[in-house]
Structure 1
């Protein structure tokens, strides 16, 4: 137990890589027959699509991805489907139960995510400094020199599984209003996208999004943690969380826009173009969805304030 704790404190990325690899050793043999059967059926009905997909995996896979666990797309698909099924089935089951008191578990979850997010932000920036990264236009490094950053990006990808617990807590607390399309889409899609980033190019330009998102999560989960402890002094932060998330989407869009311009117009070598274009598109979908969420919340807050003022006025007139 002491050696595990020491390993976790010294190198969280290696600790979680070892954990994921160990779990994979015990679970993969049971999943292999299912994977083979599914692949056979897909190849039977969609031979061309399967051929192109396999060709893509072979051509796009970074040599560094072979050093990392949880890179099998079938396992990623199972986890994503498992998340969606657990959420929607869990909501149906909870209709028959009273909400659970999960404050202690929630505090532990938020503390863990604050800690790992702070570590990832600092670790990614440190590896960027060591690798002489610039602000933008950082090419993927598939050599052994790029492995330390690849491990940090893998940890960022793996942390998206840990963030699934956000939704599980909402299910247990019966906070169904919070389990919106935005919430579920964001958690599920970000996990699969960062699998693709880690699989294809787990360093280079990926550092910017990983560091920035980790920093935002330090603020967000830190706010959740302190609020749950009863620190009302941090209540003002809630107003800025969605704004800070939207700001990060804008910054990531600027990065991907510049990279695409540099590659296609200026003719410079760069990060894989299809990953850059995917992130550009994804950031705009996130920006639109979060803006809609922010606008609705602002409208509800304004209405609640007006109702409270009207109630107070009526009370004075009595």
Structure 2
């Protein structure tokens, strides 16, 4: 299945190349002429940190990632403007297909990443980056996890079509585009070793989350799960924080001369989890406040 998605991404890349390449050239030329030293430094960083698997995986070009991210943000802005004077669009079947696909894909990624980690003898934490040919299978699964973040953009587009603008919050948009960029970097630098834990854990969370969304669209919501989804996500962020903290201590101070997992993705994970915990904690408090207000209003009727 993972090979199917790799071929799909390659095919899309070939089809879109005549349209994407001119944009890429404009971005490169603009950046190089405006900030030549920055451009040269970025090229050097990319070359020095590149995983040996990068050239065998599609959608690894950083300019393509930038174009997709800009496209996501522009689609939200333009879409909200277009929908402002139109009736909301019925997206029931689109939502069913979208949520079902992500439940299925998330379950597949959780199982395959976990199985491959078990097969390769990974420990819970402190797994070094495997740059050998045997590590390529895990790299493909991690690539799929990164690629799946594009599918999750549909969450926002459905909200735009339904005119649920209150759901298109800073947290929602920030989380969707930032996680896509971060997982591109993880896949580009080290798509093996410690990358497995976050990918497997996040996929497990998404099985529950998109499963709940699917049940809601099908009008059979599993209501008791709703309030636990955010707690489940925050538990995930806390575990990722523990992982990053352990790895920093293990690879930097306990065994600094051992073959390790790159420090860059680890420290990014550590800082990013702090932002996620803060934003999701704020969302959780506000959501519980709205729920209590709704219950109070219902009782007073």
Question: TM-score range with shorter-chain normalisation?
Answer: over 0.9
Task: Output the TM-score relative to the length of structure 2.
Answer: 0.97
Q: Kindly state the Cα deviation for residue 301 of structure 1 after the two structures are TM-superposed.
A: 1.2
Q: Decide whether aligned partners of structure 1 residues 99 and 123 sit closer, same or farther in structure 2, where only a CA change above 3 A counts.
A: same
Pairing 1:82-231 to 2, within 5 Å after superposition: 82-231=71-220
Structure-2 separation of matches of 1:30 and 1:162: 21
Structure-2 separation of matches of 1:16 and 1:194: 16
Question: How many matched pairs?
Answer: 299
Deviates more, 1:298-307 or 1:58-67: 298-307
Which of 15, 32, 52 is equivalent to 1:63?
A: 52
Q: Does 1:261 align with 2:241?
A: no
Structure-1 separation of matches of 2:108 and 2:14: 27
Equivalent residues of 2:27, 2:63 under 8 A apart: no
Q: Where do 5+ consecutive residues of structure 2 fail to align? A: none
Q: Once the two structures are superposed, what CA deviation does each residue of 1:243-266 show, in whole Å capped at 9, x if it has no partner?
A: 000000000000000000112221
Equivalent residues of 1:64, 1:143 under 8 A apart: no
Structure-2 separation of matches of 1:277 and 1:175: 35
Q: Does 1:245 align with 2:233?
A: yes
Q: Once the two structures are superposed, what CA deviation does each residue of 1:19-66 show, in whole Å capped at 9, x if it has no partner?
A: 111111232244333323332232222111111100011111101111
Question: Who is 2:291 aligned against?
Answer: 301
Structure number with larger C-alpha Rg: 1
Q: Once the two structures are superposed, what CA deviation does each residue of 1:80-99 show, in whole Å capped at 9, x if it has no partner?
A: 00000001110111011101
Q: Where do 5+ consecutive residues of structure 1 fail to align? A: 1-10, 313-318
Structure-1 separation of matches of 2:153 and 2:34: 33
Q: Once the two structures are superposed, what CA deviation does each residue of 1:104-152 show, in whole Å capped at 9, x if it has no partner?
A: 1100100000000000000000100111100000011112100110010
Structure-1 separation of matches of 2:162 and 2:219: 18
* Aligned partner of residue 191 in structure 2, secondary structure: coil
Question: Who is 1:7 aligned against?
Answer: none
Equivalent residues of 1:65, 1:202 under 8 A apart: no
Structure-1 separation of matches of 2:36 and 2:269: 29
* Aligned partner of residue 63 in structure 1, secondary structure: coil
